[in-house]
Chains A and B, each alone.
Chain A
């Protein structure tokens, strides 16, 4: 396990503040970071170094909590504690705020683009999840306000291929939503975590969902369609989700983020104990009851809580992380020989 996660570079992205989230653009050439200083920074490489290519300020009045790139890579959405979501349009190295989405009653905690690029989801401390539709003229319309959670909603993420939305909440559950007729409805609730669920990540195929929680575990859930071979009960035509694996005993504090590499299938976690961990599925493990092993554990990856981990979508093994210490770190993950 030694030397399997190596530091490549460290930058002070949001000095004297927290860096809350990171997002790689679809081509993996740019990294967006956002923080408590209300700014968004775009990072790119110049030779061997990571440098700040743009600073997006004046967009928000309070902390920017999450950022997300559109699937085409031309737009960036930012979710802020000022209750708004900004949509930025990229014009070479410049970004211009083209729309501000209002409607949430208080802090917006997360934003995510659907793979089609036509839909956007936001969630907030006001317990609701909103689905927005974008039209050809870059106009955004709210198509649904979902009040299924009973507490603060922390994170939303879209399925990689289907129009299926997942949300994680302070109410200890994960909920899934899909369109039914003219409206969006909650089609499944995943219960099992014993505390706040902070983040979610789908695996490359979209058949499994990883969730991480304040209860210090990562849970892997699998989708079972009606009429499945394994005999998992489904109600009507809705698929059912079952927890097929729980990773416990590895983390000593709250797990704030989980990232599933779309290229290698490796799972990275960001923890409140300042460490980054990587897990890999054991080869040959039963798909209905998989086992994962810890393949990297980097103590003191940062000097404070690690808030986010993000795998580069094009370069296998390149991982970015950020922390309450305001720094962004870039790591190279190597699978140790003989695994």
Chain B
């Protein structure tokens, strides 16, 4: 006969069973609260991941589009200045090349890059500098009919 119990033991275990029964009732509120919290937490986490992914895609695309514009602008100016020989133009070329170098070194595939915002700010600053100095060039290209194109390059950038 397995589990033979003495008289004292069976009274203790009967009491334990009674206590568990009351326990279930008394602790019901807390238990449901805990289960509810757990369910909510899990649902919230998965919703959060979905929202985060959407936000990341949107934000990443914005940055990509911004950088793409700067790259196009810089490469275009590189072509325009390619055959120029003046001292002013060679200084502008240095700025163009500095911007292209910054864009090339930017780690597009790593959103956890620790200096992401710092580097983006450097790129934006270099672009603004190029924009400012190339304004002179744009005016001079006016009569060659490229003013339309040059000005258009600025209008397509909503953050200017």
Contacts and interface: CB of A to CB of B under 8 A. Distances in A.
Interface of A: 102-103, 105, 128, 141-148, 182-183
Interface in B105-158: 121-122, 124-126, 128-129, 131-133, 135
B94 interface: yes
B122 A147 contact: yes
Given A141-B91, A182-B94, 20 more contacts: A102-B132, A103-B131, A103-B132, A105-B160, A128-B125, A141-B133, A142-B129, A142-B132, A142-B133, A144-B125, A145-B124, A145-B126, A145-B128, A145-B132, A146-B125, A147-B121, A147-B124, A147-B125, A148-B121, A182-B98
B98 A183 contact: yes
Contacts of A102: 132, 135
A105 B131 CA distance: 12
Contacts of B135: 102
A143 B133 CA distance: 9
Q: Which residue, of A143, A145, A182, has the highest number of chain B Cβ atoms within 10 A?
A: A145
Interface in B87-112: 91, 94, 98
Contacts, number: 31
Contact of A144 (B91, B94, B121, B129): B129
A105 B94 CA distance: 24
The 8 closest A-B pairs by CB, nearest first: A145-B125, A147-B121, A103-B132, A145-B128, A142-B132, A145-B129, A147-B125, A142-B129
7 contacts: A102-B135, A128-B125, A145-B124, A145-B129, A145-B132, A147-B125, A182-B94
Interface string B64-94: 0000000000000000000000000001001
Nearest to B121: A147
Interface residues of B, number: 15
Interface of B: 91, 94, 98, 121-122, 124-126, 128-129, 131-133, 135, 160
A85 B67 CA distance: 29
A148 B122 CA distance: 9
A239 to B, nearest CB: 21
A132 to B, nearest CB: 9
Contacts of A105: 160
A102 B131 CA distance: 11
Contacts of A148: 121
A33 B125 CA distance: 32
A103 B128 contact: yes
Contacts of A103: 128, 131-132
A102 B135 CA distance: 10
A141 B122 CA distance: 18
Nearest to B87: A135
Nearest to B159: A105
B155 to A, nearest CB: 15
B139 to A, nearest CB: 12
A103 B133 CA distance: 9
Contacts of A183: 98
A63 to B, nearest CB: 23
Q: Which residue, of A143, A147, A148, has the highest number of chain B Cβ atoms within 10 A?
A: A147
Contacts of A146: 125
B65 to A, nearest CB: 19
Nearest to A141: B133
Contacts of B91: 141
A147 B129 CA distance: 12
Contacts of A128: 125, 128
Contacts of A144: 125, 129
Contact of A143 (B122, B124, B129): B129
A268 to B, nearest CB: 35
A172 B125 CA distance: 22
A105 B128 CA distance: 10
Contacts of B128: 103, 128, 145
Contacts of B98: 182-183
Contacts of B94: 182
